[in-house]
A and B are shown apart, each in its own frame.
Chain A
Amino acid sequence: QQQVKQSPQSLIVQKGGISIINCAYENTAFDYFPWYQQFPGKGPALLIAIRPDVSEKKEGRFTISFNKSAKQFSLHIMDSQPGDSATYFCAAPGFGNEKLTFGTGTRLTIIP
């Protein structure tokens, strides 16, 4: 069973600052690592994802950094805004199919 460990559990960042959330996985066979964003009362929404053949992927203010040797990947949110306040989940696919194992989530709060 894939295990995905996420940290920190909660994070408070000042507006304009950089938010960093980390994720560690166990199995090296996986080839897809997504981050999901969830607002209260809504389902998770795919934010950004990376394949392990690259070490970094950037989409707007969001960047995934991938460290294959350490089995870790992280989400960086640049110029964090109050609208980024949400819960963020990392995930990894299962064995032989596309089901996802999610981390426990990081509640991000951006303060003015």
Chain B
Amino acid sequence: GAGVSQSPRYKVAKRGQDVALRCDPISGHVSLFWYQQALGQGPEFLTYFQNEAQLDKSGLPSDRFFAERPEGSVSTLKIQRTQQEDSAVYLCASSLARSYEQYFGPGTRLTVT
């Protein structure tokens, strides 16, 4: 079956611009996660949804970061007024309810110039 998909795959933004990153999880997966991966580092947790409820947003680095999943399927990560330190790969993962097995998408590489 289809895996997790993310779009766009690459995004270049000028400093100060707003960006929106999309994640389509595996059909039927209740849990959805966003991670940020800096170059040469492991993924770092940003936020977590169970269906449409955002249960944990403790990893969001600032109030410029906002995530939503209004219908419990597709999710959007929005970054307002992008800064150079926001440059990273943003990974989305999904899993079944009460399962630790997370399946990752290919990521969106964001470059802020």
- Residues of chain A touching chain B, judged by Cβ–Cβ distance below 8 Å, are 6, 32, 34, 36, 41-46, 49, 89, 91, 93-94, 97-105
Is B100 within 8 A of A32, CB to CB? yes
Residue of chain B at shortest CB distance from A33: B100
Given contacts A97-B56, A104-B41, A105-B41, contact A46 B106 (CB under 8 A): no
**Minimum C-beta distance from A33 to chain B (A):** 9
Is B42 within 8 A of A98, CB to CB? no
Partner-binding segment picked from B13-21, B43-51, B68-76, B80-88:
B43-51
Residue of chain A at shortest CB distance from B96: A98
| Contacting residues, chain B, for A93 (C-beta < 8 A) | 100
Whether B107 is near chain A, meaning CB under 8 Å from some CB there, is yes
Is B91 within 8 A of A44, CB to CB? yes
**Minimum C-beta distance from B41 to chain A (A):** 6
Among A91, A99, A101, A105, which residue has the most Cβ atoms of chain B within 10 A?
A99
| Contacting residues, chain B, for A46 (C-beta < 8 A) | 101-103
Is B42 within 8 A of A103, CB to CB? yes
Whether B79 is near chain A, meaning CB under 8 Å from some CB there, is no
Is A45 within 8 A of B104, CB to CB? yes
**Minimum C-beta distance from B111 to chain A (A):** 14
Number of interface residues of B (CB under 8 A): 26
| Contacting residues, chain B, for A41 (C-beta < 8 A) | 106
Whether B26 is near chain A, meaning CB under 8 Å from some CB there, is no
Jot down 10 A-B pairs with beta carbons below 8 A, ordered by A. Answer: A41-B106, A43-B4, A43-B93, A43-B104, A97-B48, A97-B56, A98-B98, A98-B102, A100-B45, A104-B41
Whether B105 is near chain A, meaning CB under 8 Å from some CB there, is yes
Considering the chains assembled together, what is the distance between the CA atoms of A94 and B56 in angstroms?
11
Partner of A99, one of B33, B105, B107: B33
**Minimum C-beta distance from B48 to chain A (A):** 5
**Minimum C-beta distance from A23 to chain B (A):** 11
**Minimum C-beta distance from A30 to chain B (A):** 9
| Contacting residues, chain A, for B106 (C-beta < 8 A) | 41-43
| Contacting residues, chain B, for A45 (C-beta < 8 A) | 104
